[in-house]
Amino acid sequence: MEFLYFPEDKTEYIPGIISVIVIFILSLVIIWLLVRASRKEVKNLEDQGYTVTYDKDGNKKKES
């Protein structure tokens, strides 16, 4: 029994490559949606009167 299977016919790699590309694109879309929702939530908090400040690295600053 072979532990690793490397097919002689390299066209068997095509479905795997397509799956990786699709999953990668979907993960980028999900990250984009999360960033978009986060920005919307920050805007809602600012509209409610909360102050949200960030330093140049994007880290939240503490209000003193």
* pLDDT tier at 50, thresholds 50, 70, 90: confident
More confident residue, 63 or 58: 58
| Domain-located, residue 56 | yes
Report the number of distinct structural domains present in the chain.
Answer: 1
Asked if pLDDT for residue 64 goes beyond 50, the answer is no
| Domain-located, residue 5 | no
Six token digits for residue 44? 């809602």
Give the mean pLDDT of 1-5. 74
The strand pairing partners of 60, in sequence order, are 54
In single-letter form, the type of residue at position 55 comes to D
| Domain-located, residue 8 | no
The string of pLDDT tens digits covering residues 5-36 is: 888 999 999 999 999 999 999 999 999 999 99
Give pLDDT, residue 53.
77
| Domain-located, residue 60 | yes
In single-letter form, the type of residue at position 26 comes to L
7 backbone φψ class: left, alpha, beta (φ>0; ψ -120 to 50) = beta
pTM assigned to the model: 0.67
| Domain-located, residue 2 | no
| Domain-located, residue 55 | yes
Six token digits for residue 23? 């999953």
CB 15 within 8 A of CB 22: no
Domain that holds residue 58: 13-64
| Domain-located, residue 23 | yes
